[in-house]
Structure 1
């Protein structure tokens, strides 16, 4: 079998013909891709090879997401080469500019209190900028190949899909699943019909935020982006970031609200989306990619949602 580095060098000799390759280094920075840092006489680049999501549609949606982010003024790495299957690797891959910095998950604990305040404010402000990219439809992608006639239809479809998957994998007991179905549907009845589609990242945790010199740099990795109600992003922001770093919450919401003033209805919508999104964790971490630690964390989140969060909004109606 041909050496892995030789395969990559051969690929780069064709895709970066005008570059002298000085060094290639395999990186451990992604769950969904195999990543290589490419050093050339013209600068550094990143090669990302799809591993978990291998279909061409997902790949093309990821490339399109980055293009939309760049066009909106985001500091996103420009894609130089994008090749879908069939190709020499027999895997979808792309090469993009290298953006210096490190992921915030590894660095945030070393920030001073003032640095955390500034970081969280800029993070919130940048997410608001991303959410200001409007779509013409709701869809389980950005390309519009999986669009629905309404936001209510998409949310209903996603809920029904996840309820079915949970009954198939048998990680949660049927009583809990039935309880979630009842509570989510009750909240869904009160969902506004006036929500507009916007660019939604759908995978916001600190490893997808870059920092440099203890300052916010940018949001990265748009492989899960879709045209949703952008408030869906707050599910992971709350569970994955603010649960561990509550000191970041206030500054983040101030930065976000600077563009989108917070409305009472937002809390209701986020609560509904939390219930649905927490259901997704059990087929994923229970069967597809087993992880007992993550299952335990999401079981805690789910029980808290059932016993505390969902009750707050039961019986309330927000203007449809």
Structure 2
């Protein structure tokens, strides 16, 4: 049986999570409490004699396959030295919680989105530099083949093939849902295909988080200084893709973070050739992807309005004539 999506503020009974945790880990729970925040997961924090853990189940992506893709990415990152929780157990829909779930270690730290506004410039710089180093560590991890996720559910022989496939799927979804005027869709899709054809051949698959914004990061103590969370969108992509959301949701609202982040990042990983040309292609794809997502799958008019502005600006920058979203 496939579990249905859950509302973000709806938790299955905590007692079921307690029983599930013990069944998966063999440890007795001393204390357990739900954590209500989060778009992608419902979670409970758990205390045992061996330490603190988190048990998580999906909201928008609740299937077992979705969970395994997240776990695969997180374990690859943790095993390569990235500061991120380690998954210690995985449950199935047949367990006490009656939903796929997993248990991960707890990293002590503060939610960056909540704490950052209260920090001084030096603390902000330290966090941003540490975050840059962690993202660089992710981008140094090679993938065996370009893939939509780290369990290799769908793979591609070349990066151009991966991009063209994504553009084609988006165009079909937008046409079906009628969430953009056809003239806008065709103009943008044609330009994206042209930019894809212009990509060089030197791009290799690397681990890419694909959801880097402040709520998916922690401010921690030394030695890491920052940690990364929530790998549900991770893939083996061109890692330049990660700079799309970093630009929108980190650098744009917090411009002072850009320079220390880039300094931390380039200390370990130089920006690749054609960085800006690649980035503008991926921006166009991500802006386009927002329309079937926020316009149909998970309607959100406020987010949709912001992406109308972003896509219009992208079309202006590329000299496209005609209608705007």
TM above 0.5: yes
Find the partner of 2:301 among 281, 292, 299: 292
Correspondence list, 1:1-320, <5 A:
4-19=13-28, 21-212=29-220, 216-308=225-317, 310-311=318-319
Q: For residues 184 and 133 of structure 1, what CA distance do their matches in structure 2 show?
A: 27
* Cα distance change of structure 1 residues 17 and 183 upon mapping to structure 2, 3 Å threshold: same
The C-alpha deviation readout for 1:74-104, integer Å capped at 9, x for no partner, is 2222222112333333311011111112221
- Secondary structure at the counterpart of residue 26 of structure 1: strand
Q: For residues 150 and 213 of structure 1, what CA distance do their matches in structure 2 show?
A: 40
The C-alpha deviation readout for 1:196-247, integer Å capped at 9, x for no partner, is 0000001110000101469932111111111001111111000111111111
Q: For residues 205 and 197 of structure 1, what CA distance do their matches in structure 2 show?
A: 22
Retained in 2: the 8 A contact 1:132–1:199?
yes
- Secondary structure at the counterpart of residue 36 of structure 1: strand
My pick for the range that moved more, 153-162 or 180-189, is 180-189
- Secondary structure at the counterpart of residue 7 of structure 1: helix
Retained in 1: the 8 A contact 2:210–2:234?
yes
Q: CA deviation at 1:264?
A: 4.9
- Secondary structure at the counterpart of residue 96 of structure 1: strand
The C-alpha deviation readout for 1:273-316, integer Å capped at 9, x for no partner, is 100111111111111111111111111111111112x359xxxx
Q: For residues 15 and 259 of structure 1, what CA distance do their matches in structure 2 show?
A: 38
The C-alpha deviation readout for 1:113-149, integer Å capped at 9, x for no partner, is 1221221111111101110000120011112231111
2:6 counterpart residue number: none
TM-score, scaled to structure 2 = 0.89
My pick for the range that moved more, 185-194 or 286-295, is 185-194
Retained in 1: the 8 A contact 2:21–2:55?
no
Retained in 1: the 8 A contact 2:21–2:103?
no
Retained in 2: the 8 A contact 1:200–1:228?
yes
My pick for the range that moved more, 239-248 or 85-94, is 85-94
Q: For residues 79 and 206 of structure 1, what CA distance do their matches in structure 2 show?
A: 22
* Gapped regions of structure 2 (runs ≥ 5): 1-11, 321-325
Q: For residues 149 and 68 of structure 2, what CA distance do their matches in structure 1 show?
A: 10
